[in-house]
Amino acid sequence: MSITLLSSPLQGFTDFRFRNAFNHYFGGIDTFYAPYIRFNNKLVIKNSYQRDLKLEHNTELEVIPQIMTNSADEFLFVVDYIQELGYKELNWNLGCPYPMVTKRGMGSGLICEPEKINHILNRVHKETDILVSMKMRMGYENPEEILDVFPILDTYPLKNIAIHALIGKQLYKGGVNLEAFQKCIESTKHKLYYNGDITSVAKLKEMQTRFPSIDHFMIGRGLIADPFLPSMIKNNTTTYPENRWEIFREFHDTIYHQYDEALSGPTPIKMKMQGFWEYFSQSFSNPQKTFKKIKKANNPRAYQQAVAEILKNG
């Protein structure tokens, strides 16, 4: 069965610079989700979100914008904004687990409020012709919460529901709950995408075997940790290209230069690249030692030296 791979958004990581460089050097991803747009009281779309969604920054790829909100007005505002840019679909984030978000009834904190979800979807479908897709966890407190939402979701022509098979209060701990995901498959008419802990070709195969009806898989952290993973899944191989580290180096240098240009001063670029290396380091034989080397590099020259040393040893 042919499968579709989607890049699951990571705020602070998978912006247009990352997406374009990723696509150029590694490929394997069919569609990229942009990290969520979120408002801070005012109905103004932050410059960083605007830059991220600009069409000229996304010419090579299929990108789907995302919103995180519990307000129909905010949703409608973003629909207008992205439709003007030419986008046809908006993804709704009901997955974010962080208390700052969930305590305000957003992200996975909204899953336990089916009526509110209904109200928003009702207005969006009455007042616009945008295609809506969802990205959800299975609940905040327990994985049954989503089962009360499906009857409402089933009344709307959603494109799909991507499910990160965890609950909000787990944050990122404890691993995915595959029995609960199976229950989701049996409880909605919508097309489901699987998301959660795909970190290797073997893991993807395990999920395919376990859920034969699923043919769309979203990869988040695993794609940053090992950017070759999507193309290896697509090519059904566990063998890396011979020039693996050369390709990685070129990719690294591309994003480094772009972020260095966009951010001002040595500290922001250090923090940005350090964030990436928390994931990249997992591809190296000693992740902790690798990450430590990056953390210790206190100026751009030391950083470049650390990267060269890490890549020499592979």
* Mask for 134-153, x = binds ligand FMN (CB under 6 A): -x------------------
Q: Which of 82, 96, 153, 233 is catalytic?
A: 96
* Nearest in space to 135 (alpha carbons), one of 11, 18, 285, 232: 11
By CB under 6 A, is residue 281 in contact with ligand FMN?
Answer: no
By CB under 6 A, is residue 229 in contact with ligand FMN?
Answer: no
Whether residue 96 lies in the annotated active site: yes
Q: Would you tell me how many other CB atoms lie within 10 Å of the CB of residue 4? A: 13
Chain position carrying tokens 């990122």: 172
Instruction: State the helix-helix crossing angle for 114-127 and 72-85, rounded to 10 degrees.
Output: 40
Q: Which of residues 50-79 bind ligand FMN (CB under 6 A)?
A: 66
**Least distance to ligand FMN from the beta carbon of 249, Å?**
24
Of 92 and 251, the one with the shorter C-beta distance to ligand FMN is: 92
* Nearest in space to 230 (alpha carbons), one of 105, 61, 102, 84: 61
By CB under 6 A, is residue 270 in contact with ligand FMN?
Answer: no
- Residues ≥6 apart with Cβ < 8 Å to 51: 15, 16, 57
By CB under 6 A, is residue 8 in contact with ligand FMN?
Answer: yes
Instruction: State the helix-helix crossing angle for 16-25 and 244-262, rounded to 10 degrees.
Output: 160
Which residue is closest to ligand FMN by CB?
Answer: 220
Q: What is the spatial distance between Cα 60 and Cα 47, in angstroms, rounded to a whole number?
A: 21
By CB under 6 A, is residue 227 in contact with ligand FMN?
Answer: no
* Nearest in space to 83 (alpha carbons), one of 121, 127, 39: 127
Q: Is 211 helix (H, G, I), strand (E, B) or coil?
A: coil
By CB under 6 A, is residue 196 in contact with ligand FMN?
Answer: yes
**Least distance to ligand FMN from the beta carbon of 211, Å?**
15
**Least distance to ligand FMN from the beta carbon of 1, Å?**
20
Of 164 and 270, the one with the shorter C-beta distance to ligand FMN is: 164
Which residues sit opposite 133 in a β-bridge? 91
**Least distance to ligand FMN from the beta carbon of 66, Å?**
6
What residues make contact with ligand FMN under the rule CB under 6 A? 8-12, 35-36, 66, 93, 95, 135, 164, 195-198, 219-222
